[in-house]
Chains A and B, each alone.
Chain A
Amino acid sequence: MATALQVSLPLPVLPEGWSAEKDFKAAGTLSSATQRIVEPVGPHFLAHARRKRHKRTFSEDDRIQAQENVKKVEDEDAGDISEPEDPLMLQRDAKDWKNQDHYAVLGLSKYRFRATEDQIKRAHRKKVLRHHPDKKAAAGSTEDDSFFKCIQKATEVLLDPVKRRQFDSVDEHADVEPPSKKQTQKGNFYKLWGPVFEAEARFSKTQPVPKLGNEKSTKEEVEEFYNFWYNFDSWRSFEYQDEDVPDDNENRDQKRHVERKNQNARKKKKTEDTARLRHLVDDALSLDERIKKFRQQEHAQKNKRRIEKEAETKRLAEEAAKAKEEEAKLKAEREAAEKVEKAEGKKAKEAAKNAAKKNKRVVRGSAKDANYFHAGGDAPPSQIDAVLNDVDLIIAKIDNEELALLTSKLNGKKDAGEIKVIFAEEVARLVSAGTLKDGEAKSFA
């Protein structure tokens, strides 16, 4: 080739550690090639041919073999487009073209709105080859060229995108009647309704249109499907069914009248169609088992949640009751214990009282034992009074424990001196504690 291609992007730096024998490693082979014919034209081909032939001679067998896997670039005959022609259809009057089934005329009944432009062209050609008036004349037929005109009209409509839409809008043969409730309930919902929606989908401005799906479709898919159909944006229109507008200029009012009438009819039909579709979607929705299933699932989900919630409340209630019970029990126990305690306290108090009484008796007895601290002979009553008063003062000033302590100190003591000391000490303690005033209980001084 002439000059080498120049690439201004730099080659990458050799990665660290890259190595290969002779600095080259193969990694894979070329993808398989397509066998095509190189057009035997031009100087470069002739050079190619010279190289490729090497003075060899190729045979007819070689030809067949070489052509075996060649990729075809020309279409085959329109063999896929063939259906028997209805004899009644062949007698149609071309003037009545508005009522003709353009697809049937071209033998495209099973394709209809699905027919591609290419298919229509090829179908047209096929029909022309058969029905051209010159062919009929040759076959000795006296048939007029009416059907040929039907073919031309059908092609004119179907190859014009605007006219084709107008016709497709009212092509009843492409409609799929929705099954009844009964049929649906007896049959397979998806099989019955799928084609209905597929047929309706042809009117959608938005393509592709979501499919009905099957029992395995997810909730999201089903929701998307119905959402789409409830918001359907349709290009369907009804001008094809317009009444012919009079062509003459004389009757202008009549002309305008028809035009207005047509306008209104179109609008009305469009409104009806929108309602019809809505109704149809409503019906499908109401018969769609998946909706029930999803509702049940949702219901079950809800139920499950409710049961769980109930169980939880129950558990909480039980727990609360248990706690309450426990508390009550504890309270009872505590109360019982308190009662016991109280009772015991009373006893102890009584005991203490008794002990105190006893102790007081002991204390008082000690004063008596010490002969009221009167040296020799019977103590005069004044002395006895004074001592007993002081002893009672002490007793009054001290609590039971101190009393018990004092009692224990006095217990068994007979010696007047000793007893006096004990009392004196007690008085001193009480005075220092501030319980007694200095000078009180002077009998023990």
Chain B
Amino acid sequence: MSDEESSPQRVAIGISFGNSNSSIAYTTSEGRAEVIANEEGDRQIPSILSYVAGEEFQGTQAKTQLVRNPKNTVAYFRDFLGQEFKSIDPTPCHQSAHPREHESTVAFSIKDTESDDENIVTVSEITTRHLRRLKNSASDYLGKKVNAAVITVPTNFSDKQKESLSKAASEAGLEVLQFIHEPVAAVLAYDARPDAKLSDKIIVVADLGGTRSDVAVIASRGGMYSILATAHDYDLGGALLDQAVMDHFAKEFIKKHKTDPRQNDRSLAKLKLESEAVKKALSIGGSASFGVESLADGIDFTSTINRTRYELLANKHFASFTRLITHAVEKAELDVLDIDEIVLAGGTSHTPKIASSLRNAFPPTTSILAPSTSPTAINPSELVARGAAIQASLIQEYETEDIEQSTHPMVTVTPHLRASIGVLCISGSESQGLFRPLIDAETPAPVRRTAQFATPKEGGDVLVKICEGVREIKVTRAEKPQTNGRKEDDEDSEVDSDDEPEEVREKVWRVGKVLAEAAVKGVKKGGKVEVQVNVGPDLAVQVIAREVGGKGGVRGSIEKPAVVENGSA
């Protein structure tokens, strides 16, 4: 597509850049996305830089510096980029270099050179240094100089934030080909799997990180994604779970040694690091051991905790994750029954209890893609970076101008159907016929869909009645069945075993506007009828109905609605 002129060959990767961790990924020549391990073997590279006597450490090495050298360690800075000091929340930086106001931006005062003087280093500069390290790690791994990237950002990253990030990246020698939204990258990572089947579905992506949680409700239609609603929580994340573990061990320590390891910065930092490790271990094992040398007052401390205990300690937070996710569904004006899939992304999504809580809050028709609920789930920590790598491979041949034009609102802003379009089966009467959707609501126009319908036993003349359908939730109160046939999940079932009659909720179709009727005549016994509905960019509709294998067929068109909101080209 592009004619490579002056610029050298592009080598593009995908980068997920979080407040807690970053990942780099690339797409193999076979089209598989893979996350790259850095020199230390980490695929989740802590977004932390630390300076010791002028030497720069990054990632896990920098993270360990939080204990000894917190003042010269910069962490949790992504969300400060492109922001004014007054609109940032410095809370995550309590145990590292504190952000401060510098001109119109945010900066850190750190000793980043051999000299003993503190320098003011802006968040842009820190970002540049971090990205440069990431770029170098990728280049080392790939054996060629990486010079471009698709970087993921939260759905509510402002233009100003993107601009700052873009600048910081280019300072690091990275051309940002495109910013893509984190939840969309996660969905793309799943859809790009070779065995993935394309289907229309509503997906909730819950990106549960270290300092924040972001949820997006996405309509996936023919491989195109539209965000219907989002919810953000800047206090909910893995750090809260660490805190629960910390408090638990701190109390144990106090009981034994009468001193609170949380009172001393260094002890606190050790406690935090080990608590996080314990928490991660509990995602896989039933119990985990805690051990810190010289936790406080020179006392070594070891202990263990089992998963049940941990889940009890953090129960309140687990409930908050579920509520945030159901809240996003409400914001999209949808019902839990509408959700086909929940994609759990972000490091915290490894937590089994989060997935099982969601399992209880959503109907069995919702598949939950998390390591503990689905054997085919992709590592949630890698999802976003993988999606970015796939997008990078798709567009790296494009000229910059081309990418810009392709992502222009004239292209991206599209009318989305309000109601589903479908056909009445069994009866042509609007009250008796059964609506079968052909095109789901929230599908962007233009769109074309085809379906084949059975016909009455004897064949003959059939009616193709095309209507709009509106999904409704039917609630029936059924007396509680004596046995519900479940055996395994006894402990879960007591949650809903109050004496209220059980509510049965189901999705039903209400037939809305009738759009058109067509007759297909003389269908032979056992024949099928194929109906194709083609919605144009202006919402005019073309219909073709014909017997499968038969000749001719019926064609007709439905005019576009009188008021089409603007935006379609």
Residue in A32, A53, A69 whose CB lies within 8 Å of B561: A32
CB-CB < 8 A to B121: which residues of A? none
Query: Which residues of A are found within 8 Å of B560, using beta-carbon distances?
Result: 29-30
Specify which chain B residues have a CB less than 8 angstroms from the CB of A160 in the assembled complex: 316
> Interface 1/0s, chain A 87-116, versus B by CB < 8 A?
000000000000000000000000000000
Q: Which residues of B contact A11 (CB under 8 A)?
A: 423, 425, 453-456, 462-464, 520, 529
B468 on the A face (CB < 8 A): yes
Select A42's contact among B101, B224, B448, B539, beta carbons within 8 Å. B224
Given contacts A23-B519, A31-B468, contact A41 B539 (CB under 8 A): no
Q: How far is the CA of A53 from the CA of B406 in the complex (A)?
A: 7
The segment from B44-52, B293-301, B508-516 found at the interface with A is B508-516
Known: A30-B541, A38-B444, A69-B566. A58 touches B405 (CB 8 A): yes
B225 at the interface (CB under 8 A from A): yes
Q: What residues on B are CB-neighbors of A25 within 8 Å?
A: 516-518, 556
Q: Which residue of A lies closest to B233 (CB)?
A: A121
CB–CB A12/B410 < 8 A = no
Question: B411-434 CB contact bits vs A (8 Å, 1 = yes)?
Answer: 111111111010111111000011
List residues of chain A with CB within 8 A of the CB of B438.
5
Given known pairs A33-B565, A41-B188, the reply for A7 and B539 (CB within 8 Å) is no
Contact B561 A29 (CB under 8 A): yes
Which residue of chain A is the closest to B403 with respect to CB atoms? A40
Cross-interface CB contact of A13 among B98, B436, B456, B513, cutoff 8 Å: B456
Kindly state the separation between the CA atoms of A13 and B520 in the bound complex, as whole angstroms. 10
Once the chains bind, are B155 and A74 in contact (CB under 8 Å)?
yes
Q: Is the beta-carbon distance between A132 and B91 smaller than 8 angstroms?
A: yes
Query: Chain A nearest CB: distance from B228 CB in Å?
Result: 7
B270, CB-defined interface residue at 8 Å: no
B410–A117 touching, CB < 8 Å: no
Q: Determine if A9 is an interface residue (Cβ-Cβ < 8 Å).
A: yes
Interface residues of A in 1-57 (CB under 8 A from B): 1-2, 4-15, 18, 20, 22-46, 48-50, 52-53, 56-57
Nearest CB of B to A229, in Å: 23
Cβ-defined contact, B225 with A9, below 8 A: no
Interface of A is mostly: mixed
Residues of B close to A13: CB separation below 8 A: 456, 460-463
CB-defined contacts of B88 to chain A, threshold 8 Å = 129
Q: Does B288 contact A (CB under 8 A)?
A: no
A36 contacts B414, C-beta separation under 8 Å: yes
Is A271 located at the chain interface by the 8 A CB criterion?
A: no
Give the residue of B86, B316, B391, B554 whose beta carbon is less than 8 angstroms from that of A24: B554
Known contacts: A58-B408, A134-B98. The answer to whether A30 contacts B468 by CB under 8 A is: yes
Find out whether the CB atom of A121 lies under 8 angstroms from the CB atom of B517: no
In the complex the two chains form, is A135's CB within 8 Å of B85's CB? yes
Indicate if the CB atoms of B561 and A31 lie closer than 8 Å: yes
Contact between chains at B434 and A9 (CB < 8 Å): yes
Given A7, A52, A155, which contacts B569 in the complex, CB threshold below 8 Å?
A52
A73 proximity list for chain B (CB < 8 A) = 155, 227-230
Which B residues between 133 and 151 are near A, CB-CB below 8 angstroms?
Answer: none
Asked whether any CB of chain B lies closer than 8 Å to the CB of A364, the reply is no
Question: Is there contact, CB below 8 Å, between A22 and B462?
Answer: no
B566 and A65 within 8 A (CB): yes
Q: Which residues of B contact A37 (CB under 8 A)?
A: 226-227, 409, 412-414
Nearest Cβ in chain A — how far from B489, in angstroms? 24
On whether the beta carbons of B519 and A49 are closer than 8 Å, the reply is no
User: Cβ of B341: which chain A residues have Cβ within 8 Å of it?
Assistant: none
Q: When A6-B452, A39-B227 are in contact, do A74 and B156 touch as well, CB less than 8 Å?
A: yes
Q: Which residue of B lies closest to A66 (CB)?
A: B409
**A24-B516 contact, Cβ under 8 Å, with A9-B436, A43-B394:** yes
> In the complex the two chains form, is B558's CB within 8 Å of A67's CB?
no
**Closest residue of chain B to A47, judged by CB?**
B223
The answer to the question of B320 belonging to the interface, with a C-beta cut-off of 8 Å to chain A, is: yes
Interface assignment of B555: CB less than 8 Å from any CB of chain A:
yes
Within 8 A of A (CB), among B439-497: 442, 444-445, 448-457, 460-465, 468
Do residues B411 and A49 form an inter-chain contact, with CB atoms below 8 A? yes
In contact, B530 and A4 (Cβ under 8 angstroms): yes
Question: Given A13-B460, A20-B517, A1–B222 Cβ distance below 8 Å?
Answer: yes
Nearest chain A residue, comparing its CB with the CB of B150: A41
Q: Which residues of A contact B316 (CB under 8 A)?
A: 160
Per-residue interface assignment for chain B, residues 543 to 569, with 1 indicating a CB less than 8 Å from any chain A CB and 0 otherwise: 100000000001111111111111101
Indicate whether A12 sits within 8 Å of B89 (C-beta atoms), given known contacts A24-B516, A58-B410: no
Closest chain A residue, CB of each to CB of B320: A159
Task: Report the Cα distance A69→B566, complex, angstroms.
Answer: 7
Bound CA span A70–B409, Å = 10
Query: A338-372: contact bitstring with B at CB < 8 Å (1 yes, 0 no)?
Result: 00000000000000000000000000000000000
Confirm or deny: B180 has a beta carbon within 8 angstroms of a beta carbon on chain A. Answer: yes
Q: Which residue of A lies closest to B216 (CB)?
A: A73
Q: Decide if B514 touches A42 in the complex (CB within 8 Å).
A: no
In the complex, the answer to whether B454 meets A9 with C-beta atoms within 8 Å is yes
- Cβ-based interface call for A270 (8 A): no
Q: Are A5 and B452 in contact (CB under 8 A)?
A: yes
B210 to chain A minimum Cβ distance, whole angstroms, is: 17
Q: Are A10 and B425 in contact (CB under 8 A)?
A: yes
Listed in ascending order, the chain B residues whose CB lies under 8 Å from chain A are 85-91, 93, 98-101, 155-156, 178, 180-181, 184-185, 188, 191-192, 198, 218, 222-235, 316, 320, 323, 327, 387, 390-391, 394-395, 405-419, 421, 423-428, 433-434, 436, 438, 442, 444-445, 448-457, 460-465, 468, 512-521, 529-530, 535, 537, 539, 541, 543, 554-567, 569
Beyond A25-B556, A52-B537, list 19 extra A-B contacts (CB 8 Å). A1-B450, A7-B454, A23-B554, A32-B565, A33-B415, A37-B227, A37-B412, A38-B226, A39-B180, A39-B218, A40-B406, A41-B184, A41-B225, A43-B394, A44-B224, A53-B405, A129-B89, A132-B91, A134-B99
**Interchain Cβ contacts under 8 Å between A and B, 17 examples:** A1-B222, A5-B438, A6-B451, A7-B454, A10-B455, A12-B427, A14-B463, A25-B518, A30-B468, A30-B561, A31-B513, A35-B565, A39-B181, A42-B225, A67-B413, A69-B565, A75-B232
Closest 5 CB pairs of A and B: A44-B223, A24-B556, A33-B415, A9-B425, A14-B461
